[in-house]
A and B are shown apart, each in its own frame.
Chain A
Amino acid sequence: MNHPGLPQLIIILVYLSALLVLGLFSSRLFRGTLADYQVASHSIGPFMLLMSMFGTTMTAFALVGSSAEAFREGIGVYGMLASSSGIVHSLCFFLIGVKVWSVARTHGYTTQIQFFRQRLDSDLIGLLLFPILVGLVIPYLLIGVIGGGGVIQALTAGLAPEMFPVLTDDGTPDLALHGGVPAWLGSLVICGVVLVYVFFGGMRGTTWANTFQTLIFMILGVVTFVVIASRLGGQDGLYANLVALGESLPYEKATRVEMSRSLFFCYLLIPLSVGMFPHVFQHWMTARSAATFKLPVVFHPLFIMIVWFPCVLIGAWATGSLMPSEPPLPMTAGGTVDSNKILPFLVNTQTGVILSGFLAAGLLAAIMSSLDSQFLCIGTIFSNDIVTHYVGKERISDSRQVLLTRIFIIAIVAVTYLLSLGNVRSVFALGVWCFSGFTALFPIIVAALYWRGLSAAGAISGICAAIISWSVLFYHGLQVPIEQGGLGGFHLHWKLGSESIELMPVVVMLLSSSLTTVAVSLVTPKPKPETLAKFFP
């Protein structure tokens, strides 16, 4: 058991096995209906809805990405995304979640596409939204797959140096990763485990697994924080260590002097994406009653705080003077610090082997609790909005539908997995682009719920404006050299007099989709009065 990386590997394997058992156990509670498989028969209570929705929205982006970005940008990352999400996510649950739940329960919808098709009397909108939603979920999946593989590799470093060597440019072993289970293998195992328990447990299994995993990563996140603080500080007692670490922070990381104020403002728009996440929509549908939403609305900001606060501080501490120089920080192929691996690196080097194994499980819990919902959601929209909608429920056997849906999910996971093998440098940047796309679609759901004047042509034009602006800007983002921040370093500049204001691409996307939706809706025919009467009684 003293072999480097072995205890961590054993604990990770035990944890993954436990998840499989949980998935199989929850499949015994399965009621054999489509509604149970896709939305757990609308039976989920407040606590499990809170845990599953929180677990779903917190992914590698929240743990690995937040600590990585805090390493680069300092403590301002918390304000950029955590406190803003606490306000905006709950606002979306409150204004959109409850309303969507009411409408969808009334008319029997499970997916966003079903809702939009009926609300706008348009089949085309479903056909347009399907590839866009799946296309935007893929980068989100990618975040989890990359994060999971990276965590396993960093935390099992030293396990089999001859089998899995990782060398730096000068040919010496990269001690932070050398001998660890390769990221490609770790990612593959994670995808396999999640697929199995999603296939067997459906939404009920996913919700159980999410609740279990959310508890795990929240508890272990706090434990990680305390243990790393105790080790890094080098003092006696937790408080003395915290003070030492606080004082070790460089000025630019303890403040936001290097952060653009206009970009900080723009980040307020990113959490709006939760209003259009298809997997969150599906979780909303699991709620037993509208009152079930109260707990998530109230506790979501606090839960975000519990997860983000320690991660941001740990990432910032890693830039401080108390950070040991040995072993060296994990590096990328380009010779810069691989900030995505900062948190697993610290867990591996600053905690005991058993604890680091448990903490690895905690990190994987956060990552997998998002992957499962996304896998399930992709299967659901394919099943409901493509197979059943176009082929007809009566013309396709259940077993055939099972087969097609499984093939579709596996194909999407395979595409995601192959993309994860590329050189994705920043989980955070990838996440921000993915969320920006969903934010660009946000005006469509708001208008569909609250504006009688929305027309099908308006919504379709708005969606086109969102996705075209996203694609054009993403293309420009890809042209930014790595040295200038790559995708994450792409910003727009707005000349205002003599000043140049930096803007995030999401501002342009949101404005273009909003203006197009409103303008086109004003001059095109509205849905039929009987349709409007159904949604605006």
Chain B
Amino acid sequence: MPTRTADVQVKAMAEMHASPPDPYQSPAAERQRTPQKTGSKGTASRRGGPLLIGVLVVVLLVLHQDYWFWRNDTLVFGWIPLGLFYHVCLSILASLVWILATKIAWPAETIRAAQLATPTPASSPTPAANPLHSTGPREESER
């Protein structure tokens, strides 16, 4: 478990990263690939994105309660009941909202903090053997 000192180090590392690393890729790769968002415009964008996605999710949930098609037995394309077709379209719309969410509301700050704090494989605690598979000592020795 990280100690308090480690937490302080993590914070210090975060502050040192004036150019934040890619939250998803290696920090070096990110520095090469992604232009940094700076200033108030970037901050506003980061705040506005989650808000917009929040509103869109509420809209999806409201659209989900489609009382207006409750008794409608129209067959779309001659074979799909309207109530079913509507909800299939809602599934597609949900997917589009989630595409947008990954573009404008991705929790990069949270991920960045986790990435900075994640121990490297070399410093990870020594793993134990498979608890369910085969014999432990042999696997330990194979490592």
Contacts and interface: CB of A to CB of B under 8 A. Distances in A.
A261 B70 contact: yes
B94 A301 contact: yes
Interface of A: 27, 30-38, 75-76, 78-79, 82-84, 86-87, 90-91, 94, 98-99, 101-103, 105-108, 118, 198-200, 202, 239, 242-243, 245-247, 249, 251, 254-257, 261, 264-265, 268, 289-292, 294, 297-302, 304-305, 309, 312-313, 316, 379, 383, 393, 397-399, 401-402, 405-406, 409, 530, 533-534, 537
8 contacts: A37-B133, A243-B75, A246-B78, A247-B79, A264-B65, A294-B106, A313-B80, A537-B11
Contacts of A107: 1-2
B9 to A, nearest CB: 12
Given A108-B1, A534-B2, A102 B114 contact: yes
Contacts of B51: none
A32 B107 contact: no
B123 to A, nearest CB: 11
B23 interface: yes
Q: Which 8 A-B pairs have the closest CB atoms?
A: A398-B136, A291-B24, A246-B79, A102-B114, A33-B127, A32-B139, A242-B79, A83-B87
Contact of B130 (A83, A103, A202, A302): A202
B128 A33 contact: yes
Interface of B: 1-2, 4, 7, 10-11, 23-25, 57, 60-61, 64-67, 70-73, 75, 78-81, 83-84, 86-88, 90-92, 94-95, 98-99, 101-102, 106-107, 110-111, 113-115, 117-119, 124-125, 127-137, 139-140, 142-143
Contacts of A261: 65, 67, 70
Grouping DSSP codes into helix (H, G, I), strand (E, B) and loop, the A interface class, with mixed when no group exceeds half, is helix
Contacts of A309: 84, 88
B96 to A, nearest CB: 9
Contact of A86 (B7, B70, B94, B113): B94
Given A299-B95, A301-B92, A399-B136, A242 B78 contact: yes
A108 B119 contact: yes
Contacts of B73: 249, 251, 254-255
Contacts of A243: 75, 78-79
B95 A32 contact: no
Contact of A83 (B1, B64, B131): B64
A460 to B, nearest CB: 22
Contacts of B92: 301-302, 305
Contacts of A533: 4, 7
A83 B65 CA distance: 11
Contacts of A397: 136
B129 A34 contact: yes
A169 B106 CA distance: 59
Nearest to B127: A33
A379 B25 contact: no
A391 B79 CA distance: 61
Given A301-B95, A402-B130, 9 more contacts: A35-B124, A83-B88, A90-B94, A102-B111, A198-B132, A199-B133, A246-B78, A256-B71, A268-B61
B66 to A, nearest CB: 7
B67 A202 contact: no
A265 B62 CA distance: 10
A278 B72 CA distance: 40
Report which residue of B1, B23, B114, B139 has the largest number of chain A beta carbons within 10 angstroms of its beta carbon: B114
Contact of B61 (A87, A105, A264, A302): A87
A32 B135 contact: no
A313 B91 contact: no
B131 A383 contact: yes
Contacts of B99: 298
Report which residue of B125, B131, B134 has the largest number of chain A beta carbons within 10 angstroms of its beta carbon: B131
A398 B140 CA distance: 10
A302 B7 CA distance: 40
Contact of A79 (B10, B72, B87): B87
A119 to B, nearest CB: 12
A304 B91 contact: yes
B2 A379 contact: no
Given A27-B133, A82-B91, A249 B81 contact: yes
A33 B94 contact: no
Given A202-B133, A302-B95, A401-B136, A79 B66 contact: yes
Contact of A265 (B65, B115, B134): B65
A241 to B, nearest CB: 9
Nearest to B105: A94
B24 A289 contact: yes
B114 A103 contact: yes
A35 to B, nearest CB: 5
Contact of A34 (B80, B110, B127): B127
B70 A202 contact: no
Contacts of A86: 90-91, 94-95
Contacts of B131: 34, 37-38, 379, 383, 398, 401-402, 405
A297 B101 contact: yes
A301 B83 contact: no
Contacts of A302: 91-92, 95
A75 B84 contact: yes
Contact of B132 (A291, A301, A402): A402
A245 B23 CA distance: 50
Nearest to B116: A106
B84 A78 contact: yes
